[in-house]
Amino acid sequence: MNPFRYGQVVSKGDFCSRPLLLKQLMTFAESGQNVFLQGERRIGKTSLIHEAVRKLSGYKLLYIDLLEVKTIDDLCRRMITSIVRMEQKAAFQKKLLSSLAHLRPSLSIDPVTGFPTVSFDSRIGMKPDTIEGILDLIAELGGKRKLVVAFDEFQDVLNIRESDRALALLRSRIQFQNNITYFFAGSVRNQMNGIFTDPSSPFFKSAASLEVGPIDGKTFVPFLKKKFASGERKISIGIVGEAIGMAGNIPGDVQELCACIFDATSSGESVTGEHLAVGLNMIFARERKAYEATLISITGLQLRCLVALSETDSVKVLSSEFLEKTGIRTASSVQAALKRLVKLKIIYRHKGTYRLANPFFGSWLIWNGF
């Protein structure tokens, strides 16, 4: 079996230890300090939260994913669904349903996943005030046990039309729940900063900040080597380092590339530079259609910026060197192109410059001579 895991939360033996971050997060949980965690896509935020709470004895995690949440209704449903999945005691569920009786809820078991799900009369829309009722139920859960509540992709609350009201309601209840720790994770930096560091936001200075960066090579390299060894592949430190670099040092992408390299080799074999190329080509083949769809959605000028970013990762984008690389004459045109690419989530801001959200797409552009 392929020992590499990607596209899912990893834990226990699949979780490469990040002792400092784990300790910080566990200490925050124990001291009741709310935290907002920021980090790039696939860097390991969700896994870190799950692992930190799993390691804390006696704690339960109420995990609420807000990815692409669009309405108050959707927000409330996700919170309620997470609650019924965590707290499966019949008495509590009965109480939950009766406190939301005006929404005509009904509880059932999803035949595919086997998880409990709640459905509501779709003609009755949830109102912002419903959020308060749900938070009171969470407070009740926190009164009975040690509880960490994690809102993941929290910045997506901003998609909601009444987001100001939703944030104010969330904050008004959360600030009094002293025995519950809240983690807010997000990958869109400027939006997360807006929520937690802008004085006009209800969440201004309401949580400590924690940055989730790449996994330290000192632990990640041996972790990956060991995974290869568990599947009877030998690999040198140098080749593992190359794979990490090719995947932009993003753990999820590193594991995906390693999974392909693993598939490209046989038991007892030593991994070579050629296997790296085969692994990368396997990813290209799998993602080609998506890459082509992206190309159709952007202009020639935007493409030139993308290629230039793929070839360099530290050049200042408004420098003459960058303009020369793109062949674009004016800095304002570059700026407009980059702004659009950020909006399309093809690139993101990173340490004073920009990076491709998918490092393999950049390699593919270069590989194909764009």
Ligand X SMILES: Nc1ncnc2c1ncn2[C@@H]1O[C@H](COP(=O)(O)OP(=O)(O)OP(=O)(O)O)[C@@H](O)[C@H]1O
User: At closest approach, how far in Å is the CB of 120 from ligand X?
Assistant: 27
Decide whether 18 or 233 has the Cβ nearer to ligand X.
18
Q: State the binding partner of 9 from Mg ion, ligand X, none, CB within 5 to 8 A by kind.
A: ligand X
* Rounded distance between C-alpha atoms, residue 182 and residue 364, angstroms: 40
CB of 39 to Mg ion, least distance (A): 9
Our CB check for Mg ion shows the closer of 46 and 265 to be 46
Give the nearer residue to ligand X in terms of CB position, either 248 or 252: 252
User: Which of ligand X, Mg ion, none does 252 bind, CB closer than 5 to 8 A by kind?
Assistant: ligand X
Tokens of 353: 């410059």
Closest to Mg ion by CB, 46 vs 130, is 46
Which residue lies nearer to ligand X by CB, 218 or 329?
Answer: 218
Q: Which residues contact 199 (CB under 8 A, 6 or more apart)?
A: none
On whether the CB atoms of residues 216 and 18 are closer than 8 A, the answer is yes
Smaller CB distance to Mg ion: residue 15 or 262? Answer: 15
233 binds, among Mg ion, ligand X, none (CB under 5 to 8 A by kind): none
**Integer Cα distance of 62 and 182 in angstroms:** 9
**What residue 180 binds from ligand X, Mg ion, none (CB within 5 to 8 A, per partner kind)?**
none
Which CB sits closer to Mg ion, 46 or 81?
A: 46
Answer with the entry of ligand X, Mg ion, none that 187 interacts with (C-beta below 5 to 8 A by kind). ligand X
Three-state secondary structure readout of 75-89: HHHHHHHHHHHHCCC
Which residues contribute to the site for ligand X (CB under 6 A)? 5-10, 15-16, 18, 39, 41-47, 187, 215, 251-252, 255
Would you say 46 or 177 has its CB closer to Mg ion? 46
Q: Give the chain's largest Cα–Cα span.
A: 68
Shortest Cβ 264–ligand X spacing (Å): 18
Interacting positions 27-56 with Mg ion (CB under 5 A): 46
- How many H helices and E strands in the chain? 15, 9
| Residue at token pair 């998609």 | 159
| Cβ at position 44, least distance to ligand X in Å | 3
Tokens (6 digits) for 48: 């870190």
Shortest reach from residue 126's CB to ligand X, in Å? 25
CB 63 within 8 A of CB 45: no
Q: Which one-letter amino acid corresponds to residue 304?
A: R
The entry of ligand X, Mg ion, none near residue 39 (CB within 5 to 8 angstroms by kind) is ligand X
Tokens of 44: 């390991």
Nearest approach, Cβ of residue 169 and ligand X (Å): 25
Report the partner that residue 18 touches, choosing among Mg ion, ligand X, none (CB closer than 5 to 8 A by kind).
ligand X
**Cβ(234)–Cβ(228) below 8 Å:** yes
- The C-alpha atoms of residue 41 and residue 20 are separated, in whole angstroms, by 20
Q: Which of residues 224-283 bind Mg ion (CB under 5 A)?
A: none
Give, to the nearest 10 degrees, the angle between helix 90-99 and helix 130-144: 160
The distance of closest approach from Cβ of residue 16 to ligand X in the complex, given in angstroms and rounded to an integer, is 3
Closest contact distance (angstroms) between CB of 121 and ligand X is 32
Cβ atoms of 243 and 261 within 8 Å: the answer is: yes
Q: What is the three-state SS of 74-124?
A: HHHHHHHHHHHHHCCCHHHHHHHHHHCHHHCCEEEECCCCCCEEEECCCCC
Question: Residues in the site for Mg ion, rule: CB under 5 A?
Answer: 46
